[in-house]
Every structure is written in C-alpha cells, then in structure tokens.
Amino acid sequence: MSVLVDKNTRLLVQGITGREGEFHTRAMLGYGTTVVAGVVPGRGGQRAIDDKVPVFNTVREAVEQTQANVSIIFVPAPFAPDAMREAADAGIPFIVCLTEYIPANDMVPTYEYIKQRGARLLGPNCPGLLTPGGAKVGIIPGSIVAEGPVGVVSKSGTLTYEAVDALTKLGIGQTTIIGIGGDPIIGTNFIDCLQLFQDDADTKAIVMIGEIGGTAEQEAAAFIKAHVTKPVVSFIAGQTAPAGKRMGHAGAIISGGEGTAAEKIAALEAAGVAVAKEPGEIAQLVQQRLHQR
C-alpha cells in the first residue's frame, strides 16, 4: 500500500517546458509515473517531452481533458502562488510545490486559499514524494528506493536520500517517502504524515527527519505519544548550529532559545521515539525496531 500517490496518480506538470520542469518530468516518466498533462500559458496545443505530454494553457482545461488528480509546480517564486491557486481552483485535490524562495507573506494567504478549496498542499521548497513501484512526484531519486514497510517523512531532501539509500541497502523498503520542506509556512506537516502512516496497514515503522528551529518536532512528539502505535525512528539535523544563525532552510533557526536540537530530542525520546545520533544510525535503528515487533 502507500499514501498520497500510487499507480492511480494522474500527474499534471505546471511549468513543464522550463528547464527544471522538463528535466524532472523526464525522470518522473522514466520511473513510471503517469504524466497526463503539462500547463504553460500561451503554449496550449503543443506537446512536450518528445511529443509524449499534451500542453494546455490552463489547469482547468487540462483537468477537464485528462482527469489529472495531482499537480506538481515547477514555476519561479514570483509566479508560484498564483500557480498553486490556479490548481486549487481547478479542483486538483493534491498540489505539490517544489519552488524555493517564496516569501512567507505570500504563502500565508496562499495556503489558506488552498485549504478553503479542500485541497492538500505539499511544500513549497520540498523534494516532493515517491511511492516505490507506484509514482514519483518530484525529485527524489528513484534509483535508491525499494518497496517495503517503512514510511519516511523529512524536512531535508539530502538527508532523506541518505536515509532511504541506507534502508534499501539493508534490505528495508519503503511504503512512501515524503519531503515536507523546511520553510516556515508549509502545507502538509509532520503530524499529517504521521497520521497517514499510522492509518496505512502496510507501514510497519516510520522514519521522521527533523531539524532545529520552530516547534514542529515537539508537536509531532506529542502526537506520537498520544496517537501513534508504530515504532518511530528520528534524527534531528543542525545539532551544532549556533543560536540565531539560519542553517539551510528558512525555518531552521534557533530564536529566543527555542527550537534547539536538545529540546526536540528530549521531547521525542520522552514519546518513545528512537533518536539517531547521526544519519548513519537511522537504518540500523529501524532494523532493530522492526525485529522487535
């Protein structure tokens, strides 16, 4: 089984003819994802990716003609909020935005707009998600994954790849891998993903990769303690970061003494989560927890 995307995913790519959009659409198609449409205003009627994908002027037109049910956005930051809103207006139930550098002041009303229309947003500034054997929606490398029992949710793209590669090399596959992004304002969060994995019968263990800054990990720890019965393994990035200095993501900053790695690790351990001291330990801890079940 899986969460959010699978073999029934019908993907629409906003910005398919741009450099990033074209490159990653080829990779998604190569993995086996069903890409049914691209949207680029002014290029309707054309075909992209070696004539494989029809291009439409609007998301609404694309949805009406192809029954797309997921949209991925490869649109520059100044235009990405409008692209997200257009997808929500067209009835797309799941919107994935990879775009970086969208101002928080733009994301607050955009996220509220998407929620009001009943859609789910993943991102922005995230690597997307991948269900092994089902669908790759984003930039997570398909070569490092395998089908199996572990759900993965992470703020960090590169740490996600490292953890998944190590799991696969130990013979431990994944149900779905989700990169939620590390911006201050994001759509789908840790708790959303923990609930999805808790409800998925085929997910037997969960990996959660967090980082310094904010309180999302502490809130996730409280949720795990109250609602998650499956073993959870975690890692917190940025443990040596100095206070007041942003490390990587816009949300990864310790401010006013809040959001430290020590606080997050203590909260997770108090909830029964096994916390790795370094990324290389994640896969071994998962293996131990699976064998204990």
Q: Which residue has the tokens 């949805």?
A: 63
- Assess contact for 244 and 253: CB atoms under 8 A: yes
How distant is the alpha carbon of residue 75 from its chain centre?
17
Torsion angle of the four alpha carbons 280, 283, 284, 287, in this order, in degrees rounded to the nearest 10: 180
- Assess contact for 237 and 211: CB atoms under 8 A: yes
Pairing between β-strand 128-131 and β-strand 120-122 as defined by DSSP bridges: unpaired
Q: Which residue has the tokens 């131990």?
A: 288
Which residue type is seen at 106? Answer: D
Using CA atoms, how far apart are residues 178 and 192, in angstroms rounded to an integer?
Answer: 11
Q: Which of 24, 227, 249, 291 is catalytic?
A: 249
Using CA atoms, how far apart are residues 137 and 73, in angstroms rounded to an integer?
Answer: 10
Strand ranges for 119-223 from DSSP E? 120-122, 128-131, 135-138, 147-154, 174-179, 205-211
Whether 227 is catalytic is: no
Q: Which residue has the tokens 């816009």?
A: 250
Q: Which residue has the tokens 């235009």?
A: 79
Burial label, 258 (beta-carbon count in 10 A; 0-12, 13-18, 19+): middle
Q: Which residue has the tokens 């994001």?
A: 186
Name, in order, each residue with C-beta under 8 angstroms of 262's C-beta and a sequence gap of 6 or more.
Answer: none
Q: Which residues are catalytic?
A: 249
